Structure 1
């Protein structure tokens, strides 16, 4: 009798599962695709590749629509029924905004058909098909769901960022796929090094999608050359009282920028002045908002204060709305960025706006050419968050943000020679991190031996040995390389 009861319970559970699957299949949304997005033209090719292969690489330029449309293509294929469509983003702000956008396109309240899960915030329901989350959340879920049975499809978005979390996930999925033949994986990237991802997954097909971009004029305006020239002084002297207040104010400020850079050599203040100078010029070019890229939250706050200080003294700046955009911004302040507005805006952003988020209405970009990067110092034996020059690829991504709605202008606050001397791509985080911290994180996540893990770019054996040596000195591992 106990055996019969067990068999009956199993049969009932299977029946309930089948009924639930049928109900989810019947309620599957019928997505539509915006014709203006380039990815819509490739919809059939992408769908065929997903059906025929376990892993597909989709590389698309800025504005292609891959982030919002790929989950909808998966829905149309019947994915999301036996498990969720997991869709990872590098940052919380992107996970929330992308979830909101896809829900809007599917005419569903956020949290029903489409939900999200980020640190300290979970908006999902049993009826959800698509789950947006940070890559860190999915990585943490591998601890309680080793085979990721909660998902039938995984989309790793913005893989070109090559953070540690992304590299860990790509390695973990490579090991998992033979054990989960039903699982589909889609890796998306900007048009950067797509072959590397394809090779990692043993020849996964690459589908390229063009970007929806207009021509962007790049202007180089290095610090110390803000545009203040003798010609402008002569014009001011000749015109004398015919100049309006804005022109007089602009010439005076350009002189101040030159003096500050030449006399004080204060780079931070010079950058703030150069941004003010460039913004003033761009506001004269015509309609459209300005996106300014800065290295971090502190620089954003300082520049915002600097802009607001001058707003009352310039008719051009007086009615401009200045908005910050960084990862730790409150949800309420984040939503201001995406709301419709009548006044012109200057949005001060970190690299969160480089690829993860699309700020609407941007026609001009001012790029300081800097970002905060985590880097390990072998001499000091510590990791430091320091300001560094961005790569050429990152600079191109930034410039592409202003070619979305019309022809754009990107002002780079550095020289063309400086740009040409920069590395082509951003160095993956694992190659600039302490291997000691990588080893500890892998141990905490139970990812196995660092020497055997299938990294896209494995760290050298010397760096691994140095990492273990440091951990031994700290008493974190024993001589057998086991965590103490």
Structure 2
């Protein structure tokens, strides 16, 4: 393998003395509060010892050194663009800096406004909010909360809320000027998700009508000039990350199977390299679970020759309790004086920027990720394994240099990196089905889609296909205006086809079954899908009337019928019902509540008489 050593360079000097004096004159200390106070101003309780321990760690973050400068620039401008390298602490610290410095009380002093920080992924919104709640010494769900699809962990006391970009977009439907927020922070802007791109254009209009609102656009890496031009010359701040060098290794020849190559590299690192945790990037849940099993088996076969390993998966649909395992330490040696243990995290690209895991020394980058691709001509959206961009490769390698000098093993050639990878990730808005986005924009009152201020306007053909689909579903009339049905459909955080299915299901007395269908279509757990396919095949093979029963209900009824003939699979059956009920509960909480509010639509079960209509 060829070797190339690259050292990260500081992008911004530490805060200058005049700026520090200005900040201090405005009463902004290191913690944004009276340094002599031992009472938490957010909940009125004494600070715990854990708060002070975490505070010392916070002071070592690169972004802490530029707190005063950041606040000075924020006070002088309505919009600010901040580029902070991976590990700089921007996601956890910047919202706290803003919260400490900005007056969030309304003019009548009756209530407090909020600071919003958007994340492109649910995992990041949940984990970061919990971390910030610990740093502020408050309770998650109270002063600090989060909001994701089907789950709102916030209250009337919440002053800092982390939420997915899609949830902020949905809030704009009922609050077009986002009057509940004093400052909005768009984090991970470089990922250019569909919702983030729509928020860019929407917030530009909101800022014109709300001079008191401030916007901070944060990213680990982005096209600075393009963003500054889009936001009318907004000032740009840069914050360095960790300064440990990362050694980059490339393969001499292209790998035939990147999954097997990644597993082989993990085993070689564990056998030959000094202590340090490993981060492996793969494309999806099934691939990750397969790799975790194989790595555990390979290392287990080596016996006492090597230290123990803790192999931890990480992907968006993993339960929160399982996600927290990535922060646990590596296992100790099996016996005193034996080889040290090692933690191996196998993750999707969620670990590129959204989450920071300490202790990572080695990164394995196969050079692929899954991306949505939409073909408007055949109206098919696919999730394809595609090469990553150079910006993503840079972010992945940066994960290895947080706590000490690290190594990044790229499972592709240097020639491929230089010639085949695109500089930046292709924006999602240019490769996605826009039906749901168009419905959202129509609900927001934006009728002129052609002249909406997109940073990268989508292809006209894609917009036309979206309008055709919505017109076919009855969400838009022939003039392109939102219908009453379309208004109801826009309230659901689901695809338009599924929203239409839920809304009209009560007409056919099958809303309960349709909720089951919607719940199962919304669930993406491999365990759930595997159980579903297995049990379904057994039902169709053993019960003559299974087809009719399946139409009647895709959950309890068909499996109860099959269970009479196959009691040996009771454990699998019960686990299946738990999976169904968990996802169905989410759907019921989010969707049936909307159905009840919008038209008192009851949950109705389907009968044989309605089969032909269904």
TM-score by length of 2: 0.64
2:260 is aligned, of 273, 276, 279, to 273
Question: Does the aligned pair in 1 maintain the 2:443–2:482 contact within 8 Å?
Answer: no
Aligned to 2:109: none
Aligned to 2:88: 64
**Would you say 1:192 and 2:179 are equivalent positions?**
no
1:300 is aligned, of 263, 285, 288, to 288
2:152 is aligned, of 122, 125, 134, to 122
1:309 is aligned, of 297, 317, 320, to 297
Cα 1:101–1:475, aligned 2, differ >3 Å: closer, same or farther?
Answer: closer
Cα distance in 2 between the residues matched to 1:222 and 1:442: 49
Cα distance in 2 between the residues matched to 1:317 and 1:370: 30
Shift of 1:78: 2.8
**Would you say 1:289 and 2:319 are equivalent positions?**
no
Shift of 1:414: 1.2
Shift of 1:469: 5.7
Counterparts of residues 338-349 of structure 1 (less than 5 Å): 338-342=327-331, 343-349=341-347
Shift of 1:194: 2.3
Aligned residues: 417
Cα distance in 2 between the residues matched to 1:110 and 1:471: 39
Aligned to 1:384: 382
Cα distance in 2 between the residues matched to 1:317 and 1:444: 59
Question: Does the aligned pair in 1 maintain the 2:254–2:413 contact within 8 Å?
Answer: no
Cα distance in 2 between the residues matched to 1:122 and 1:408: 39
Shift of 1:99: 0.9
Cα distance in 2 between the residues matched to 1:47 and 1:456: 27
Aligned to 2:14: none
Aligned to 1:155: 185
Higher relative contact order (CA 8 A, sep 6+): 1
Cα distance in 2 between the residues matched to 1:431 and 1:99: 30
Aligned to 2:171: 141
Question: Does the aligned pair in 1 maintain the 2:142–2:155 contact within 8 Å?
Answer: yes
Cα 1:445–1:324, aligned 2, differ >3 Å: closer, same or farther?
Answer: farther
- Structure 2 portions without partners, runs of 5+: 1-39, 107-112, 332-340, 484-614
Counterparts of residues 216-235 of structure 1 (less than 5 Å): 216-221=246-251
Question: Does the aligned pair in 1 maintain the 2:376–2:462 contact within 8 Å?
Answer: no
Question: Does the aligned pair in 2 maintain the 1:74–1:80 contact within 8 Å?
Answer: no
Cα distance in 2 between the residues matched to 1:86 and 1:282: 41
2:128 is aligned, of 89, 92, 98, to 98
Aligned to 2:394: 396
Cα distance in 1 between the residues matched to 2:65 and 2:295: 42
Question: Does the aligned pair in 2 maintain the 1:304–1:348 contact within 8 Å?
Answer: yes
Aligned to 1:43: 67
Cα 1:223–1:111, aligned 2, differ >3 Å: closer, same or farther?
Answer: farther
Secondary structure, aligned partner of 2:212: coil
Deviations 1:198-252 (A, max 9, x none): 2222111111111114111111126766xxxxxxxxxxxxxxxxxxxxxxxxxxx
Cα 1:212–1:350, aligned 2, differ >3 Å: closer, same or farther?
Answer: same
Aligned to 1:453: 452
Aligned to 1:443: 442
Question: Does the aligned pair in 1 maintain the 2:251–2:413 contact within 8 Å?
Answer: yes
Shift of 1:435: 4.4
Secondary structure, aligned partner of 2:130: helix
1:55 is aligned, of 71, 79, 82, to 79
Cα distance in 2 between the residues matched to 1:389 and 1:454: 29
- Structure 1 portions without partners, runs of 5+: 1-25, 226-260, 262-269
Cα 1:467–1:282, aligned 2, differ >3 Å: closer, same or farther?
Answer: same
Shift of 1:122: 2.6
Cα distance in 1 between the residues matched to 2:370 and 2:260: 21
Question: Does the aligned pair in 2 maintain the 1:371–1:389 contact within 8 Å?
Answer: yes
Cα distance in 1 between the residues matched to 2:146 and 2:306: 38
Question: Does the aligned pair in 2 maintain the 1:276–1:307 contact within 8 Å?
Answer: yes
Cα distance in 2 between the residues matched to 1:187 and 1:318: 44
Cα 1:463–1:156, aligned 2, differ >3 Å: closer, same or farther?
Answer: same
Deviations 1:334-381 (A, max 9, x none): 111123443411111001101100122111111111111001124433
Cα 1:471–1:143, aligned 2, differ >3 Å: closer, same or farther?
Answer: closer
Aligned to 2:208: 178
Aligned to 2:358: 360
Aligned to 2:318: 329
Structure 1 range deviating more: 439-448 or 191-200:
439-448
Structure 1 range deviating more: 130-139 or 336-345:
336-345
Secondary structure, aligned partner of 2:118: strand
Cα 1:167–1:317, aligned 2, differ >3 Å: closer, same or farther?
Answer: farther
Question: Does the aligned pair in 2 maintain the 1:213–1:400 contact within 8 Å?
Answer: no
Cα 1:368–1:447, aligned 2, differ >3 Å: closer, same or farther?
Answer: farther
Secondary structure, aligned partner of 1:414: coil
Cα distance in 1 between the residues matched to 2:299 and 2:179: 55
Cα 1:467–1:42, aligned 2, differ >3 Å: closer, same or farther?
Answer: same
Structure 1 range deviating more: 124-133 or 324-333:
124-133
2:99 is aligned, of 57, 60, 75, to 75
Question: Does the aligned pair in 2 maintain the 1:61–1:190 contact within 8 Å?
Answer: yes
Cα 1:457–1:332, aligned 2, differ >3 Å: closer, same or farther?
Answer: same
Secondary structure, aligned partner of 1:42: helix
Question: Does the aligned pair in 2 maintain the 1:220–1:412 contact within 8 Å?
Answer: yes
